[in-house]
């Protein structure tokens, strides 16, 4: 239903994005997208690149007079750092090309990418494999968020753990959503005491030339019952969300519900969410261990997704590697990088969840315009009411 692509390199002239399938008459302007791009650039532990790039999107198609037309929406995001790199990443042949990079960084795409595409210069892998690409994903996800908001669906994220420091409090999905509207803290951790300790851990890692990963929780509220399906493996909503999140750079694990990554295994009678009813059409659960998805379908409860981000692989003190050209022992290339990008990964994960939910919503209710979608949606939702 929705399809989208990104193109462009980390230090190239621009990133490009296209999303197809957004219905006509959705109000959309560039500030809707730039707001999310600013959120992605924010966070304690980010690197020098964020002080160079001031991401601002340009909509180049699919919108007229502030409303989507139903045509594919095309976006451009210029890289300000391109001026410093244009000779190294030139589209056309140059008389003085930069020396090829031949020492792959452990933990990156460098080695496998060079072998796969028969490259003798790792720069050809590094540029596209860079997490800079997630800026365009965030932009496309902002459009999906805008569509979802028409139907009351809201998405947010917060940080649960960085390094060995984790929050000792639990927060409701509604509290997470409300906090995301202001994003006031350096790490988007709602536990202020834990956040201070996390910042200290980041400072310590930076002083050692090291990096830190962590755990993020993404929530979506007011998701109606029945997005996704149990009838085929590729239609299951949790599978679609998991694949989208695992495609984000440095994400190594994903799960659903508050019990994910817990060290306290529960029995079935403790885990599953009993069903209660106010009347014949208002149902609720006292718990949400399933994370809002049962049998591959949304069940009306908030969707809760947890993801684990590994420590970033570009280190201030590079790890050992070999030179692919000579076979000699080398230290890995030191690319400019963040010490910790966990809060930013949360914003990217929000975008990916938004794209999947928007796709599932369009699939379920159908319609080529917002007006048509609203009519179908209200008819469907009138059967049940599980909104917060």
- The tokens for 229 are 């399906």
Return the pLDDT at 314. Answer: 86
pLDDT digits (tens, 9 = 90+) for 233-284: 999 999 999 999 999 999 999 999 988 877 667 788 888 889 888 766 677 8
Return the pLDDT at 263. Answer: 60
Q: Which residues pair with 3 in a beta bridge?
A: 20
Say what percent of the chain tops pLDDT 90. Answer: 76
Looking at 24-28, 62-66, 96-100, 232-236, which range is the least confident one? 96-100
pLDDT digits (tens, 9 = 90+) for 110-122: 999 999 999 999 9
The answer to whether residue 369 sits within a structural domain is yes
The answer to whether residue 388 sits within a structural domain is no
Return the pLDDT at 276. Answer: 87
Cα 275 to Cα 370: distance, rounded to the nearest angstrom: 33
Return the pLDDT at 42. Answer: 86
pLDDT band at residue 292 under the 50/70/90 scheme:
very high
Kindly tell me if the per-residue pLDDT of 382 is higher than 80. no
Return the pLDDT at 333. Answer: 79
pLDDT digits (tens, 9 = 90+) for 130-158: 999 999 999 999 999 999 999 999 999 99
Say what percent of the chain tops pLDDT 70. Answer: 95
pLDDT band at residue 181 under the 50/70/90 scheme:
confident
Kindly tell me if the per-residue pLDDT of 323 is higher than 80. yes
The answer to whether residue 86 sits within a structural domain is yes
Kindly tell me if the per-residue pLDDT of 384 is higher than 70. no
What SS3 string covers the chain? CCEEEEEECCCCCEEEEEEECCCECCECCHHHHHHHHHHHHCCCCCCCHHHHCCCCEEEEECEECCEECCCCEEEEEECCCHHHHCCCCCCCCCCCCCCCCCCCCCCCCHHHHHHHCCCCCCHHHHHHHCHHHHHHHHHHHHHHHHHHHHCCCEEEEEEEEECCEECCCCCCHHHHHHHHCCCCCCCCCCCHHHHHHHHHHHHHHHHCCCCCCEEEEEEEECCCCCCECCCCHHHCHHHHHHHHHHCCCCEEEEEECCCCCCCCCCCHHHHCCCEEECCCCCEEECCCCCCCEECCEECCCCEEEEEEECCCCCCCCCCEEECCCCCCEEECCCCCCCCCCHHHHHHHHHHHHHHHHHHHHHHHHCCCEHHHHHHHHHHHHCCCCCCC
Return the pLDDT at 281. Answer: 63
The answer to whether residue 347 sits within a structural domain is yes
Q: Give the domain CATH number at 201.
A: 3.60.150.10
The answer to whether residue 174 sits within a structural domain is yes
The answer to whether residue 304 sits within a structural domain is yes
| 209-230: b (≥16 Cβ within 10 Å) or e | ebbbbbbbbbbbbbbbbbbbbe
pTM: 0.94
Domain that holds residue 250: 3-381
49 vs 95, higher pLDDT: 95
Kindly tell me if the per-residue pLDDT of 195 is higher than 90. yes
The answer to whether residue 387 sits within a structural domain is no
> What's the number of domains the chain is made of?
1
The answer to whether residue 386 sits within a structural domain is no
Mean pLDDT across 26-49? 89
List phi, psi (to 5°) of 26: -80, 120
């Amino acid at each position: 239903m929705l399809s989208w692509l990104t193109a462009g390199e980390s230090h190239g002239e621009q990133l490009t994005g296209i999303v197809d399938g957004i219905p006509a008459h959705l109000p959309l302007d560039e500030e809707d997208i730039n707001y999310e791009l600013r959120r992605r650039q924010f966070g304690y532990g980010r690197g020098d690149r964020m002080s160079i790039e001031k991401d601002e999107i340009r909509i180049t198609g699919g919108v007229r007079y502030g409303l989507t037309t139903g045509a594919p929406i095309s976006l451009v995001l210029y890289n300000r750092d391109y001026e410093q790199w244009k000779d190294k990443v030139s589209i056309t042949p140059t008389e003085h090309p930069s020396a090829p990079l031949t020492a792959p960084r452990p933990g990156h795409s460098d080695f496998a990418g060079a072998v796969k595409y028969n490259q003798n210069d790792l720069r050809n892998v590094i540029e596209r494999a860079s997490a800079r690409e997630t800026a365009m994903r965030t932009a496309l996800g902002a459009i999906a968020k805008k569509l979802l908001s028409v139907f009351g669906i809201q998405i947010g994220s917060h940080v649960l753990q960085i390094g060995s420091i984790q929050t000792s409090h639990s927060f409701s999905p509604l509290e997470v959503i409300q906090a995301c509207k202001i994003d006031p803290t350096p790490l988007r951790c709602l536990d202020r005491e834990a956040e201070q300790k996390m910042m200290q851990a980041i400072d310590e890692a930076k002083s050692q030339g090291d990096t830190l990963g962590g755990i993020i929780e993404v929530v979506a509220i007011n998701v109606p019952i029945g997005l996704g399906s149990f009838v085929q493996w590729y239609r299951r909503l949790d599978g679609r969300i998991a694949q989208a999140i695992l495609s984000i750079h440095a994400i190594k694990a994903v799960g659903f519900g508050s019990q994910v990554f817990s060290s306290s295994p529960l029995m079935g009678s403790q885990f599953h969410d009993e069903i209660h009813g106010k009347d014949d059409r208002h149902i609720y659960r006292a718990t949400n261990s399933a994370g809002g998805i049962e049998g591959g379908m949304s069940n009306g409860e908030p969707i809760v997704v947890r993801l684990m981000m590994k420590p970033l692989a570009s280190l201030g003190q590079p790890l050992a590697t070999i030179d692919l050209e000579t076979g000699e022992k080398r230290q890995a290339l030191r690319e400019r990088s963040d010490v910790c990008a966990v809060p930013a990964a949360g914003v990217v994960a929000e975008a990916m969840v938004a794209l999947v939910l928007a796709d599932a919503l369009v699939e379920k209710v159908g319609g080529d315009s917002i007006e048509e979608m609203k009519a179908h949606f209200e008819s469907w939702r009138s059967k049940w009411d599980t909104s917060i």
